[in-house]
């Protein structure tokens, strides 16, 4: 199958897509990295991107991760949420349920293309939060990898707001003597955010979830974030088989993408854990 081939609104079986899938009113762009070697796992890995500038900063690392997983015998898929990247639509009217639906649609398509019975979700930053929510909603995710996850939505929005203001003062305007405070901004670092989505993200706290998201979970913490340790404890209470690994690494999601940096230690930690997973 050649790149971009589409059959009846779905990606065809073959060595590799990219291509578009999903219903006509919500077309998603995806890319499959086929498992290599003789020892192919009965597990397909779906990578969930972060949002906004963090998507751009982490894109090269995600491609590298997908290739490493494929070399380890794991079919791996990347995709763009509706209204982001190369998928159709725009983000003006997005809500959390829409993005969770995109993850579910990708899981269905990934299983169909690869014929794998089991699925693992891997997410970075807010992509990790979405992966955790999607896993808890579906109830059929075998494994979950949360890399520097956004645990507290309100804190995440505050971080974005501060970075947004710093970028404005640094690149475009002189810093005023008294800085205005927009309690519910419509844009953060080039990412348009409607009031409902802002409130949904603000109310998000993964440590308050009551549903077990997966049988096994790997939490990768590269910043010494105490919230990640708290989330690991919470998952243990939900009887998830949790592995918390502190990996000394730069914050790929906050680095200049033009540097071309790849967080090798973090990527290899994820690949090793998934390739050794007992299903």
In a domain, 269, yes or no: yes
54 and 120, same domain (yes or no): yes
What percentage of residues in the chain have a pLDDT greater than 70?
83
- Inter-axis angle of helices 153-171 and 195-202, nearest 10: 120
Residue 205 has pLDDT above 60, yes or no: yes
Which residues lie below 8 Å from residue 239, measured CB to CB, with a gap of 6+? 212
197 and 216, same domain (yes or no): no
122 and 143, same domain (yes or no): yes
CA distances from 104 to 119, 137, 254 (A): 11, 10, 28
Of 139, 172, 203, which residue constitutes the final position of a domain? 203
For 98-116, how does the pLDDT look when each residue is reduced to its tens digit (9 = 90+)? Answer: 999 999 999 999 999 999 9
21 and 140, same domain (yes or no): yes
Q: What is the pLDDT of residue 171?
A: 58
Span 56-85, mean pLDDT? 93
34 and 70, same domain (yes or no): yes
17 and 68, same domain (yes or no): yes
For 135-191, how does the pLDDT look when each residue is reduced to its tens digit (9 = 90+)? Answer: 999 999 999 999 999 999 999 998 888 776 776 666 555 655 555 556 777 667 677
88 and 39, same domain (yes or no): yes
Of 203, 237, 262, which residue constitutes the final position of a domain? 203
* pLDDT band, residue 12 (cuts 50/70/90): very low
In a domain, 69, yes or no: yes
Assign residue 40 the CATH number of its domain. 3.40.50.1820
For 215-273, how does the pLDDT look when each residue is reduced to its tens digit (9 = 90+)? Answer: 999 999 998 999 999 999 999 999 999 999 999 877 776 666 666 678 999 999 999 99
Of 140, 170, 203, which residue constitutes the final position of a domain? 203
Residue 10 has pLDDT above 60, yes or no: no
- Inter-axis angle of helices 52-71 and 264-275, nearest 10: 50
Residue 95 has pLDDT above 60, yes or no: yes
Span 78-89, mean pLDDT? 90
138 and 215, same domain (yes or no): yes
105 and 213, same domain (yes or no): yes
Q: How many domains does the chain have?
A: 2
Report the distance separating Cα 75 and Cα 119, nearest Å: 10
Q: What is the pLDDT of residue 6?
A: 36
184 and 270, same domain (yes or no): no
Domain that holds residue 160: 155-203
Report the distance separating Cα 101 and Cα 21, nearest Å: 13
In a domain, 1, yes or no: no
In a domain, 256, yes or no: yes
- Inter-axis angle of helices 195-202 and 96-114, nearest 10: 80
**Cα angle 174, 180, 181; round to 5:** 135
Mean pLDDT, rounded, of the chain: 86
Q: Which helix (H) or strand (E) holds 104?
A: helix 96-114
127 and 231, same domain (yes or no): yes
Phi/psi at 116 (5° precision) = -85, 145
DSSP category for residue 224: -
134 and 216, same domain (yes or no): yes
* pLDDT band, residue 86 (cuts 50/70/90): confident
In a domain, 22, yes or no: yes
Phi/psi at 215 (5° precision) = -70, -40
């Amino acid at each position: 199958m050649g790149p971009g081939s589409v059959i009846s609104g779905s990606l065809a079986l073959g060595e590799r897509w990219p291509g578009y899938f999903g219903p006509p009113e919500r077309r998603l762009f995806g890319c499959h990295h086929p498992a290599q070697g003789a020892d192919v796992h009965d597990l397909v890995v779906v990578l969930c991107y972060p949002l906004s500038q963090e998507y751009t900063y982490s894109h090269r690392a995600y491609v590298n991760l997908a290739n490493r997983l494929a070399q380890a015998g794991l079919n791996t898929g990347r995709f763009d949420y509706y209204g982001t990247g190369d998928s159709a639509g725009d983000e003006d009217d997005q809500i959390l349920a829409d993005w969770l639906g995109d993850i579910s649609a990708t899981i269905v398509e990934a299983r169909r293309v690869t014929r794998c019975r089991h699925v693992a979700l891997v997410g970075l930053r807010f992509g990790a939060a979405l992966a955790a929510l999607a896993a808890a909603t579906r109830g059929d995710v075998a494994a979950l990898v949360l890399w520097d996850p956004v645990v507290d939505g309100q804190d995440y929005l505050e971080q974005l707001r501060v970075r947004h203001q710093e970028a404005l003062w640094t690149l475009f305007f002189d810093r005023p003597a008294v800085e205005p405070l927009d309690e519910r901004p419509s844009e953060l670092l080039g990412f348009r955010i409607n009031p409902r989505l802002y409130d949904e993200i603000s109310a998000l706290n993964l440590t308050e979830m009551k549903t077990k998201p997966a049988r096994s979970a790997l939490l990768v913490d590269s910043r010494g974030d105490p919230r990640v340790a708290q989330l690991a404890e919470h998952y243990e209470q939900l009887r998830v088989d949790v592995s918390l690994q502190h990996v000394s690494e730069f914050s790929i999601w906050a680095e200049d993408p033009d540097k071309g940096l790849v967080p090798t230690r973090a990527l290899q930690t994820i690949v090793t854990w998934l390739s050794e997973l007992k299903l």
